Amino acid sequence: MDNQKTLQQGTINQLQDYIKFKIKERGFENETLHERLVLLMEEVGELAKACRKISGMNIDTGREDKYKVGEEITDVLNMLFGVGIELEIDIEKEYFNKESKIDQRTYERSQKKIEK
């Protein structure tokens, strides 16, 4: 137990409340669920592109954009929480419920089935 990390309850709810406040402050409170999902997918794409850029994959060198992984993760979190807020989901409650289920699972690596 000494090296086990724990998340303090209440912190996710505080983040959710903060994001809900920022959504309203920025004038996005009337976005539909569909619109929020489209924005979430856009941000996930930007995160993937940022990761691609730092992974050594081929990239478009003519682009001026400077992608930053940390910023894109933040954008994804904001959009993801926005979807949860739209659906009135208690993300903290769901998070801890799901984590307790995951903690009961056992994992082992599967055998690779596709040969190149």
In tens, the pLDDT along 3-29 reads 556 667 778 889 899 999 999 999 999
Q: How far apart are CA 89 and CA 45, in angstroms?
A: 24
Question: Position 20: which residue type?
Answer: K
Does the pTM surpass 0.75? The reply is no
Burial class (CB in 10 A: 0-12, 13-18, 19+), 30: exposed
- Predicted confidence (pLDDT) per residue in 49-103, tens digit: 888 888 888 777 765 555 588 889 999 999 999 999 999 999 999 998 998 898 8
CB 57 within 8 A of CB 107: no
Mean pLDDT of the chain: 84
